[in-house]
Every structure is written in structure tokens, then in C-alpha cells.
Amino acid sequence: MIDTEVLIIGGGAAGLTAAIELSQNYKVSVISKETIVDSSTWYAQGGIAAVMGEKDTVEEHVADTLEVGDGICNEDAVAHCVKNSKSAIDWLIEMGVNFTMTQDGEKLHLTQEGGHSNRRVAHSKDTTGKEVSNSLIARARKIKNIKIYENHLAVDLITSNSSSLGAYVFDKKKEEVITFKSNATILASGGASKVYLYTSNPDGTSGDGMALAWRAGCELSNMEFNQFHPTCLYHPEAKSFLISEALRGEGAYLLNHENERFMKKYHKKNELAPRDVVARSIDEEMKKTGKDFMFLDISHKPKKMVLKSFPAIHKKCLSYGFDITKDKIPIVPAAHYTCGGVKTGLSGETNIKNLYAIGETACTGLHGANRMASNSLLECVVFAKSAALHIEKNFNVNKKKLKDWDSSKVIRSGENVLISHNWDETRRLMWDYVGVVRSNDRLLKAKEKIKIIQNEVESFYKNFELNSDFIELRNLVLVARLIIESAILRKESRGLHYNIDFPNKIRRGSSSVISKKELKVA
């Protein structure tokens, strides 16, 4: 057993921010299912939204976020996040993050993305996430009170009387389960976009934190709102490569196969419309024309500007035969961000004592029915710092004696075909039945199909030894089920959830909340 004061499950921006803040007073253990760099943070391109421009205001950033969130944002969460946006950027600079500066080198260069009324997105060229991730990792590795466990995957949380006591964690190299005892546990394991066949996310985004929280008895909120990024590179050899929204912020056009700017038909802001609108518009153009992709074009902009602003995207596209300074980029929508998650307060606190959730794993209500671009990395820093402060004010020593993991009644599986088959079937099912545009019939069919898969998975769990692929599959299938159940419960179209059988919006919308008391889901 490993005894730690604070256990953090996930090593992206949220988890590392919390670890660095808490390490001033406590011993912190951070577990990462792969290497510490393999998080959604590392892959983020665009930037971090914050009120820093001379003409920008907190009120305008709040108003933009509320508008994009389509009427169901938690206004307190939005205000808290935006008011702390500048201090979050200042803290990241203190941590060593090198943001792109203006030509004179005196101010941060700010760009504009969909939904924003001002230039307020700080960035590090087009690899902001990589810069943030590397800087926070470097800082964390220098701190004695932080111990990082790579290639470790949480199996289940340990709770008693609605209080968190730690977690059972699978060591992927030793292939054994370790007991982590903690006084406070933070879920910061990212989103669940890997539940879909096509996604911009790394392989690890299987909804682990949400599944762990659900099994422990936490409430989940807004799971039906899955954001599809409008522009992922369409190429048979390109795996999950995102074409940043910042290109559209700098004037890139969306074109159909007739070279027409089709966004003019769908929204007054054209290419800078909110992501849900852009994704649905591309999806509709593809369906109407029978084409597998549309185009993004920035070739009309000065070559020098394009190369300076988007060097990584230019290099990646060039490797697939597209020179973005000359050529149109074939693009397609792909699952990108989970707006719902573990229901929390403004300090990441859940309905389980001493258990917190932050970042994409959590649902504070900041994003409502649709996340505005570049609010996600901001959310990671702001709410991680709030959670750290809450833990410090409410710290209690866990004196409970924990039981070790019992694997005496299971056997080693002779074959893993169930894992690979159900992994593929779940992701294709979600893509075909619970995608950008939904219907009652498809959702009900998806529910019946996922129940069969989940029963198979739970039977496997009870009878065979664990491996990392199966742990992820168990979480993935559960989260898929919860997304489907949540989508069925929402009898309207709002934000990222569009149901052709309920095309209108309920006048007074509200966030959805699901719990094990209401839904009989394992």
C-alpha cells in the first residue's frame, strides 16, 4: 500500500496545476496512465482565453461564454473562471510558459476564435498545449513533494460512508493492483471523446474519471453535450490530427467542393460561429453533397503570416501532401471535448467527501451546452487552484485501514477478442447513433445495444484478471451508456445536442443531472 496525503488521477494541466499548488504543504502522488506527456493538454493547439486586451472586459468574456453555452451555463462558474483568467495566465508565465509575443516583444499576442467578440486568446504559436504541458511537467519534476507514477491506471475509488479514502491502481508494467491511501483524491483524467470512432483526442481519453466517480456514487451532469471539433484533417493515414480553430480566427474559409463559402448560409458570424453550429453545418453539407469531407482554406493569406502563426500545422499537413500556404485542407468533424462530467461546485468538490474533480473530467457548468474555444485550458488552471485551496482549508487525515485488492477469485483470460471487439463496436455505435445529429430511434437502439455490451464487460470483470485494455474498455462502455441515457432524457435540441425529433429549444433550459439512484446503470 502507498500512503499519500493527496492522490491526483491524471497528469494534464488540471492535475499538474493542483499538484504544484498543493505540494507547498502536502505530499502529492500523481498517477498517469501512460507517460506524463500523454494528455489532452499536450495536444491542444489554439490557446487560453483571458481578458488582457485593452478593449476587452470581463463582462464581454462572460457574455460570450454564456451565449455559446446556449442558456444553461452556471453563471457563477463562468464569472469565477473569467475573473481569474488574467491571474491564471500570469501564473503560467511564472511556471515558465513562453507565450507568443507581439512584434515589439512588449505584449502577449492575442488571437480570436469562434464565439469570441474580441482578440483574447493567448497562445504559444500553434502548440500551446505542448508548451503548457512541458512547462508544468518540468516544474513538477523539480518538487520533492510530488511523486509521479507513470503507466498507472486507476481501477476503482475506495469509499466508505460517502467519503473518499483512496483508490485501487493498476501498475501496467508489473501487472498488479496497488492500493493508494489518501486524505484527498482529485480526478483530473480528462474527457471521454475516445468513446467515438473519430476523435481529435489521444487514445487515453476513455472517460476514466467519470466512470470512477459514477461507480463511487457521484452525480454526473450534462453528459449529452459532446463537442465535435469542426476541422480535423481528413486523410487515411492521419490519426486524430486537429486543425486549430485559430486558422479560422485568422481568416481561413470553409469551402464546399464547388469552392463556395457555405457558412454564410448557416450563421451571421460565418466561419467564426460557435463550434456546434460549424460542426452541424459541415455535417449537413457532407450529407447533402454525399462527400466525405469539406475544405478549410487559408491560402489567400500571406505566406509569411501563415508559416509564422501555424508552423506545426503546416509541417504536419505537408507530411500528408498539403501545403496550407497553397492548398485547401480536407477536413471533417471529430469528437473533441466532453462538456459534461462529474458534477462539482466552484472548488471542484463532489457529493463524495474528500473527492474532487477538475478539468474536462468535471462539470462546473462553465461550458453549459457548448464550450467556447480556448476556455478549457483556462478552466484547468482556475478550478485546479480553487480545488487546492479548498483541500487546504478542509484537510482531514484518513485514519481508516484499507483492504488490499482481492484477485483470488478470478482467472487469467486465455483470449482478449471480447475486449477488441467490444471496443470497436462501442465506438462505431456511438459514432453512428449518438453523433453530431441524433434521433429518438437511433438513441433507443443505441441504448439496447450498449446494455448488451455492458453486460458482457461486467461478466468479464467478475471472472478474469485485469489488464489495462480491459480497464479502459469497462470505463468507456459505462460512459457511453451514460451519454446515451442523458441524451434520451433531454427532450429538446440545445447546443451540442441536436435531436431531429425535438428540433426546438425548451424555453427555460437547465443542466441535466443523473445519479445511480435514478438510473439503474452498473
Q: Which residues are catalytic?
A: 275
Beta bridge partners of 32: 150
Is the CB of residue 43 less than 8 Å from the CB of residue 191?
no
In 140-289, beta strands by DSSP E: 146-150, 152-160, 163-171, 176-181, 184-187, 220-221, 226-233, 253-255
CA 422 and chain centroid, separation: 23
DSSP H helix total and E strand total for the chain? 15, 20
How many whole angstroms separate alpha carbon 116 and alpha carbon 112? 6
Phi, psi of 186 (to 5 degrees): -120, 125
Q: Which of 371, 314, 358 is nearest to 127 (CA)?
A: 314
Return the H-helix or E-strand segment holding 513.
strand 513-514
Report the distance separating Cα 47 and Cα 225, nearest Å: 22
Listing DSSP states for 148-166 in one string gives EEETEEEEEEEEETTEEEE
Coil/strand/helix, residue 103: coil
35 vs 338: CA distance, rounded Å: 22
- CA gap 78, 67 in Å, rounded: 11
Sort 175 into a burial class: Cβ within 10 Å, 0-12 / 13-18 / 19+. exposed
232 DSSP β-pair partners: 242, 332
Helix, coil or strand: residue 213: helix
Cβ burial of 205 (10 Å; 0-12, 13-18, 19+) is: buried
- Distance between CA 384 and CA 20 in Å, rounded? 10
Strands (E), 244-351: 253-255, 294-297, 329-338, 341-343
CA distance 226 to 490: 13
The rounded radius of gyration (Å) of the Cα atoms in the chain is 22
